[in-house]
Amino acid sequence: MSEVAAKLTCATKYYDKKKVLDHIDIELPFGKILGLIGPSGSGKTTTIKCLMGMEKLDEGHAQIFDTSIPDRKILNEIGYMGQSDALYESLTARENLVFFGNLMGLDGDKLKQAIDKNMKLVNLENELHQIVNTFSGGMKRRLSLAITLLSNPNLIILDEPTVGIDPSLRKDIWKQLNLLTEENKSVIVTTHVMGEAERCDYIGLIMEGRLFTMGTPKELKEKFGVDSIEEVFIKAETEVKS
């Protein structure tokens, strides 16, 4: 089996005639967390959608594990959480979990254990029987994350997962993501929270559809001669605009 969990090679994408991704190269080993940062509209979400085959590349190649993308067979091994919560709001949290769990091939005790484990992780175990349309925005994000992790996927892709989530719970979620990497699972996260980016093994900074730089947090801070990823972001943005 490949040592690479996810890989983009010369990934290029156009919307109409506008180039929104420009020859992006990304390689993520197993058991690591990659954080994608960049301004709004820079191409972070398009990058992960092209990686999964949700958007078709115009040039380049996408690979997950040993499989060229797009390939539906690999989707069961990926947990994806988009920016928008895809929930049935007229149902309870538990009914949503059971519905999506069944789609993932889970049932019986295995599904119950997965629900209990992940609802505890997101601190919603007491809201299992609550109708989702009564949830706050942060609660919906937490439920979406619990659904994403139900099938115990080997690659977890999270687009702005902690929006609307309070700092203490955000810390718990990141602790769990780090534990998942100890099981050799790989995680890709897009985020605007620079403190979250510091927790990643690798950071890719996307600017105007290009991978401006990539490396460990330590490498990027040394490269730009600064003390934080936020300062890396600001300095890189200044360079792009100059």
pLDDT tens for 49-83 read 999 999 999 999 999 998 999 998 888 899 999 98
The domain of 54 spans: 4-85+156-241
Confidence (pLDDT) at 239: 86
Confidence (pLDDT) at 1: 54
66 is a domain residue: yes
113 is a domain residue: no
Query: Domain containing 54 — which CATH number?
Result: 3.40.50.300
Mean pLDDT over each residue of the chain, to the nearest integer:
93
Question: Best-predicted range by mean pLDDT among 57-61, 162-166, 172-176?
Answer: 57-61
Confidence (pLDDT) at 235: 93
Question: Taking 60 as the threshold, does the pLDDT of residue 105 lie above it?
Answer: yes
Q: How much is the average pLDDT of 17-44?
A: 95
CA 6 to chain centre: 12
181 is a domain residue: yes
Confidence (pLDDT) at 56: 95
CA angle 84, 89, 91 (to 5 degrees): 140
Please count the structural domains in the chain.
Answer: 1
Q: How much is the average pLDDT of 6-20?
A: 96
Confidence (pLDDT) at 168: 82
45 is a domain residue: yes
Confidence (pLDDT) at 45: 95
Residue percentage of the chain with pLDDT more than 70? 99
202 is a domain residue: yes
Tokens for 207?
């600017």
39 is a domain residue: yes
115 is a domain residue: no
180 is a domain residue: yes
Confidence (pLDDT) at 2: 65
Is residue 201 very low, low, confident or very high in pLDDT (cuts 50, 70, 90)?
Answer: very high
pLDDT tens for 123-133 read 899 999 999 99
Q: How much is the average pLDDT of 94-103?
A: 97
